[in-house]
Structures are given as structure tokens and as C-alpha cells.
Chain A
Amino acid sequence: MSNLTQSHRHAWETIPWILNGSASEAQTRSAQEHLRQCADCREALAFEQQLREAMMQPQTNLSDAEAGWQSLCARLDSNSASQKNWRESSRQPMPTPTRTRRGISARWLAAAVIVEALALGAIVTASWINGAGRQPASEYHTLSRPDAVNAAPTIRMVLVPGMTLEQFRVLLSNAHLQVVAGPGEAGVWSLAPAEDVTSVATEAALRELRRNPQVRFAEPIGAGARASPP
């Protein structure tokens, strides 16, 4: 093999694939042309042919196919039973989540947090953009918190006993007054003009109160007293 030319080596390497039928037609034709002229390759071909024939002789100590098949069937059956048991057990509620389920839940939770954060960010941004120049929101009042009354009382009033709450509300509404304090121990109510009424209207308010028979006493306080004696 020392004087291998390229075609010689190519033909020699192709011999096994020619013998087993996997060489292409071109490879076979090329090798045949070389073999006509090369005794070494013809000898190699004869030897390889014998070698292949010998290798294809049946072996005697092979395993038993039937026993092997039964062994495989037993393995398949065992696996099927295991899978069935697993499926049935997987239908039962799990006392603790599996690692995979925990992983999935954690991923969903993380995704939900991200979505929530994005939504909040969008809302804040939108509010900031749309709310520029807008008046601040009105102060929040609870029902138990009395309205702040900054007005000073201008009228003291004493009622005849027996006036209903609805009559009292109508009286104040018609006189455009609000309660500032009272009633005291003597039954005196301290009244002031309603928010939308100026102090100029005190006299009219007194007239409205005094006209009502259920009002026993109505008198101005301070400057109001000088303005309109009954």
C-alpha cells in the first residue's frame, strides 16, 4: 500500500461500500476501471468479499428473541401501570403544590404584579397630565364631623316647646340662618346667617323668626342688636 496513487486509494477505500451496495454508480464505475489495472485492489476485493461473507455467518449464542420480547412486554406493562397510577394520583388534591405548580403560580403572580404596577403608573400619569391647572379637590367630610362654622352668632333665639325638627329646619331655611351653638341651659339657640347670606340680611331674618308663633324670643347680638330693635 506504499505506492498509493489517488485513484488507487480512492478505489481501495470504495471496496467496502461497493460490496455492501451503498456506493454510488459513479463510485462503482470509477473503482471498476481501476481494478482492471490493479492487482493489489483485486486481491483486496477478494479478501474483503471473503471477510464480508464470514461476518454474515449466523452467530450461535444469540439471545432468545421470545424471552426478550416477553421481558420487554413486562417492562412496558409495568410502565403503563405506573403511569396510570400517577395519573390517578394526580387527580387527587395535592396537600402541597409541586415545585412545577409553585413555579407556575409564582410566575403568574409576578406577571400580575407587573401588570398592576404598569396600570397604576398609567393612571397616575394620566391624572397628572389631565389634572394640570385643575382646582384641588374639595376637602373630604365625614358625616360625624360638623361643618366648620366660622360665622359669629348674630341672633339668639328661644323656641316654644313642641316644635318639630322639620318645623325647625323650615324656620331656619326661610330665615336663611344656621345654628352656631345651642341650645343652652335656658333653651337659647345662637344663630348666624347662612354662608350665602351677608350680615345685611339679619333684620329680615329677625322678622322671619318673630313672625313664627313658635318662636318665643329672637334678639340680635352685638352690631345686629343696634341695627334692629324689635
Chain B
Amino acid sequence: MFGPEADREPELPRDDGRDRELLQQIAGGERKALEQLYFNYHGRLGQFLSRLTGRRDAIEEAINDTFWIVWQKAAQFRGDSRASTWIMGIAWRCGLKALRRSGPLPPEHGEAILEAISSVDTTLAAEELREWLDSGLRSLPFEQRATMELAYFLGHSCEEIAAIMGCPVNTVKARMFQARIKLRNLLPTLGGAPSREEVNRE
């Protein structure tokens, strides 16, 4: 039903034993372990934060702050969540702080998004597709955009996103619901996605 793409493993492995080991070593003051964790997470954090702020200096500052705190607080990781959830929670708060200092990207108006979308060929190149998607995501409120990122890009569960963002699970569900509705209206033929008629004919 969902096809091979749907069966693909999420971005973050469910068994995060290696991350836990690294956190234990970091708690013991091993900088080599911090280095490994840093490079394991840098790409994910950079992409997650880049969609939140789009400002390179703020991204670097947030990543630096995140691993600074990981270095200081690794001993406080109790293991009652995935290590990635704990780290992303820190990254989320550091991202918010960096945003407050540097300011977020201004949200794009719905009309501009619709105009951009209508001018895009349905056979989009990967680069164009990403830009199109980025425009759509930037039209979302900040928290909705982050929720989409945490779910689709980083593969966190609803409960984990609630823990990362420090909000109730129902708030995560509501943000996800509203974000999907809005993107569904803004990006009707995303990347050559089948239209409703095509789906119905299957």
C-alpha cells in the first residue's frame, strides 16, 4: 500500500545505543566522543536549523551552543528517551535563542507562494523542487514548520516532538494537522504528485 519508499527506515535509527555510548563517554570528559557525535549530528542539525532560520551565522551559533550544552550536561541524560530526542530538544531551544538574537526569516505571503507554484513546471528538477518546498515551508508559522521538520526530515514520533518542543502531544498533533492542510492547499502538484483524479482512477 505504501510502497518501498514508505517502508524505508526513518532518518534516525530507533536503536540509538551508539549515541548513548557516546553520551556516556562525553559525560566522562572524552572529547573524542563529542567529536564523533558532533559530526554524526551536524548535517541533521544544520538542515533542521536552516529551515527554521535560514541564517548561516545563527545556524552555526545554534549548533555550537547545542554541543556546548551536550558537553556540559551529558551526565544528566537519564536515558528515558532516545539520545537523539534529548539532543534535538537542546538544539530546538538553542535554535529559538539564536532566532531571538538574529531574527527569523520573514514568512512569505501566500499569494507569492501561489504565484511561484503556478509558474513551476511539473517536471521539477531537484533544486527547483527544494526551493519550491522551502517557499511553502516558510509560509508556515515557525512552530508548524519545525514540527514538519522533526517528523518528516528527522523521523521523530509525535511524543518525541512533544518532548523536544516542550509542549503537549495534542499541540503537536494540531500543529501537524494545520501545517499539512496549508501545504496541501499551497503545493497541490508537488513534484509531480498525482492529482486527486489520478489517485481515484487507481
Contact = CB atoms under 8 A, between A and B. Distances in A.
Interface string B37-74: 01100110011001100001001100110011001000
A219 to B, nearest CB: 103
Contact of A55 (B149, B173, B193): B149
B49 to A, nearest CB: 9
A58 B129 CA distance: 12
A59 B75 CA distance: 33
Contacts of B153: 55-56
B184 A47 contact: yes
Contact of A51 (B126, B133, B195, B199): B133
Contact of A19 (B2, B31, B158, B202): B2
Given A17-B158, A22-B156, A49 B3 contact: yes
A72 B152 contact: no
Given A39-B200, A42-B202, A49-B5, A17 B151 contact: yes
Interface string B139-158: 00000000011011101111
Size class of A's contact patch?
A: 35 or more
Contacts of A56: 11, 152-153
A68 interface: yes
Contacts of B132: 54
Contacts of A20: 10, 151-152, 155-157
A63 B56 CA distance: 6
Interface string B166-188: 00000001001100110110010
A30 interface: no
Given A39-B196, A62-B47, A51 B158 contact: no
B15 interface: no
B173 A13 contact: yes
B5 A22 contact: no
A43 to B, nearest CB: 4
B6 A19 contact: yes
B114 interface: no
Interface of B: 1-3, 5-6, 9-11, 14, 31, 35, 38-39, 42-43, 46-47, 50-51, 56, 59-60, 63-64, 67-68, 71, 126, 129-130, 132-133, 137, 148-149, 151-153, 155-158, 160, 173, 176-177, 180-181, 183-184, 187, 190-196, 199-200, 202
A224 interface: no
A192 B48 CA distance: 114
A55 B152 contact: yes
Contacts of A17: 151, 157-158
B94 to A, nearest CB: 12
B64 A57 contact: no
Interface of A: 1, 13, 16-22, 32, 35-36, 39-40, 42-59, 61-63, 65, 68-69, 71-73, 75-76
23 contacts: A16-B180, A17-B158, A19-B152, A22-B156, A43-B195, A43-B196, A47-B184, A49-B2, A49-B3, A50-B191, A50-B193, A51-B183, A51-B190, A55-B133, A55-B148, A61-B50, A62-B43, A63-B42, A63-B56, A69-B38, A69-B39, A72-B64, A75-B68
B6 A43 contact: no
Contacts of B64: 68, 71-72, 75
Contacts of A48: 180
Q: Closest 6 CB pairs between A and B?
A: A22-B157, A62-B46, A43-B199, A65-B42, A50-B193, A21-B10
B114 to A, nearest CB: 17
B155 to A, nearest CB: 4
A104 B189 CA distance: 69
